[in-house]
Amino acid sequence: METVYYLVQNMLPVAIPLLLVALGGMFSERSGVVNIALEGIMLFGAFFGALFVLTVQRSSLDAQTILILGMLVAAFSGWIYSLLLSFAAVTMKANQVITGTSLNLLIPAVILLFSKMTFNSDGITTNISFYIREIPYLSKIPVLGELFFQRTYLTVLIGFAFLIIVTIVLYKTKFGLRLRACGEHPHAADSVGINVYFMRYAGVSLSGILAGIGGFFYAVGITDGNVSGHSGVAGFGFLALAVMIFGQWKPMRILFAALFFAFLRTLAYSVSLIPFLDNLGINQTYYKMLPYLATMVVLGFTSKKSRAPKAEGIPYDKSQR
């Protein structure tokens, strides 16, 4: 039981960035824009979030307040960065994959450049701990308290809150309906008076906000508040895309997909702590490959009947009706 608690407690901070970023990717793709720049947006958000933490960490602010403020900073910077994608992909009708790739290439170089010039290091190192030993009252609930409210980060709770909000926005609001229409049949949406360009900007912007937050949460929950231009977010943006496809562009399924990958990754990094796996004597590198191999296998089984938004990846051109 101790092992299960341990795995869940360590899995959730990993799952939340994947969840948020995949939800962001979902918004973007549901509006019809393939957002391969998630990796770059995450790193951008993480960088500014960490920069904010670095500047305020000496002040008297409480760690959790800093986390929430840092989250807002990351969300804002993620949004700004995503505008570069929406400008190229929606306004200039450029190839969305190429633009996304260039945005991914840009940000690690910028971070390395900036950090080497300012701090003479590869990134930002903060020394504040966001770790929560136990949340008062809630942690006393039997089993659940131990699973979700002990030895965790505030990011986990915020992440689940976002999941609920996203589900409501996508399925229960006029905005969500219109957004989905733009990803399925933009010309039809346009003909009933929906501004496709605006909705696509909105979709990409939401993905920027969520990916920025996801990137910051990655830095908080996985790299201990530090951001490096070299390792970046270790492919989490791309993994989030896989999570999104595995989750069939639906919020609840995305949650389970994110948990699945986070579980495998946590397993890979805690092999030595689990006696059963440790005794098998398999090289730990195989476990590190496991999330990626599992992605391949899972996608191989699910992609045949994949339900991607029909108009994703195609720039909307009014005159082509």
Partner 1 sequence: MQNKHASNRQFKFSFHDLTHNKGFSSFSSALMAIFLGLIFGFIVMIVAAPENAISGFSYVVFGGLSRIGDVFYFATPILMTGLAVGFAFKMGLFNIGASGQYTMGMYFALYVGFMWDLPAGLHWITAIIAGMLGGMLFGLIPGIFKALLNVNEVITSIMFNYIGMYLVDMLIQGNAIMYSSPTSRTRYLPIDAKIPSLGIPGSNVNLGIILAVLIGIVLYIILQKTTFGYELKATGYNKHASDYAGMRGKRNIILTMAIAGGLAGLGGAFFILAPTAIAGSSMTYEPINIIAANGFNGIAVALLGHSHPIGIIFSSIFISHIQRGGTLTSLVGYKPEIIDVVIAVIIYFSAFAMIMNAALSGFIKNRLLKRNAKSKDSEPEIKEAG
Q: Where are the alpha helices (DSSP H) in the chain?
A: 2-30, 38-56, 63-86, 96-118, 144-148, 154-172, 174-184, 186-191, 196-221, 236-246, 251-269, 275-280, 284-302
Eight-class DSSP state of 231: T
CB of 275 to partner 1, least distance (A): 23
CB of 250 to partner 1, least distance (A): 17
Provide the CA 287 distance to its chain's centre, in angstroms.
Answer: 22
**With respect to partner 1, which residue has the nearer C-beta, 23 or 128?**
23
**Separation between Cα atoms, residue 61 and residue 25, nearest integer Å:** 33
**Separation between Cα atoms, residue 259 and residue 255, nearest integer Å:** 6
- Cβ neighbours of 227 (radius 10 Å): 29
Mark the segment that binds partner 1 (CB under 8 A) among 163-171, 211-219, 234-242, 257-265.
234-242
Return the structure tokens found at 167: 């589900």
Told to check if 282 binds partner 1 by CB under 8 A, we report no
CB of 305 to partner 1, least distance (A): 9
**With respect to partner 1, which residue has the nearer C-beta, 148 or 201?**
201
Instruction: Pick one of 55, 64, 65, 92: the residue that binds partner 1 (CB under 8 A).
Output: 92
Q: Which amino acid is at 154?
A: L
Segment 95-154, which members bind partner 1 (CB under 8 A)? 95, 97-99, 101-103, 105-106, 108-110, 112-113, 116-117
Tell me whether strands 123-124 and 227-228 are parallel, antiparallel or unpaired: antiparallel
Instruction: Pick one of 7, 14, 71, 88: the residue that binds partner 1 (CB under 8 A).
Output: 88
Residue numbers of the site for partner 1 (CB under 8 A)? Answer: 36, 84, 88, 92-95, 97-99, 101-103, 105-106, 108-110, 112-113, 116-117, 229-231, 235, 238, 241-242, 245, 283, 285-286, 288-289, 292-293, 295-296, 299-300, 303-304, 306
